[in-house]
Amino acid sequence: GGVIQIFTRDGRSGKSLNVALSKGSHNFTNSSASYSDRIGNTWFTVSGQYQDTDGINVCDGGCFTVEPDHDGYDRQSGSLRIGHQFSKRLKTEFHATQASGDTDGDSTISNETEYLQQVVGAKVGWDVTDNWLLTFQLGSSRDETENKLNGAFVSYIDTKRLTRSIQSDYQINAKQLVTLGYDFQDDLVASTIAYAERSRRDEGVFGMYQLQLASWSLNLSTRRDSNEQFGSHNTGKIADGNITGVM
């Protein structure tokens, strides 16, 4: 398992159009397009991509199976990011990304995988005062995989993650910053595999203090997590650094 973060252009700099097309061996095709713009206090970016290839024979005489065919691959994806500045102190952003596709292979267990990946999120930034920022975030991600053998269903696994957080950044002065926050994460799984546990929650609170004095910096941070599977634990870190110039 892993996490993929995708950051698309947000359109704040104005109008932009990008189109790309490429071809390659094994009938490979890649095409993509994106458009960004800003209208008043609203900015947005929309993009799409398509990839397709006939592929090669993954196992030529191996893998304990004989499937003398080309194992292809295709992927379709799209994304949207939109933001709006309601006032000097309040702004919001929304983003959504989806990708789906099909991957062929050679195996006596499953030789085709269909997948769907989705990420949706929203963020609100509120400058309560000139030196105090509150940030609220909500998110949801999904990763679904279905395995087949010669077109017949074999198995599937569907994972979801729900997140929310609030963070407070208070600038004491030009040299000191205090951060406090809370976040929540809920993982869910549905599958043909009989998992003993199908959900797991984690709640965390954290704090950080940063100090910058000339060429010297100090960072103090602490966090407490309450995890449904692993229990409650505290972590912390102290770091200092010295920035020196080179003549």
Task: Give dist(CA 33, CA 38) in Å, integer.
Answer: 18
pLDDT of residue 65: 74
- pLDDT exceeds cutoff 80 at 6: no
Task: Give dist(CA 5, CA 79) in Å, integer.
Answer: 13
pLDDT of residue 135: 98
Pairwise pLDDT comparison (108 vs 167), residue with the higher score: 167
> How would residue 11 be classed by pLDDT, with cut points 50, 70 and 90?
low
pLDDT of residue 246: 46
pLDDT of residue 26: 87
Pairwise pLDDT comparison (21 vs 59), residue with the higher score: 21
Cα 125 from chain centroid (whole Å): 19
- pLDDT exceeds cutoff 70 at 2: no
pLDDT of residue 66: 73
Task: Give dist(CA 225, CA 231) in Å, integer.
Answer: 8
pLDDT tens track for 93-119: 999 999 999 988 878 788 899 999 999
pLDDT of residue 58: 76
pLDDT of residue 9: 53
Mean pLDDT across the stretch 56-64?
A: 72
pLDDT tens track for 134-155: 999 999 999 999 999 988 999 9
Task: Give dist(CA 103, CA 147) in Å, integer.
Answer: 10
Distances (CA, A) of 198 to 96, 136, 147, 157, 203: 25, 28, 20, 11, 17
Q: Are 231 and 203 in contact (CB under 8 A)?
A: no
pTM of the model: 0.80
Least confident piece of the model among 46-60, 86-100, 156-170, 219-233: 46-60
pLDDT of residue 214: 83
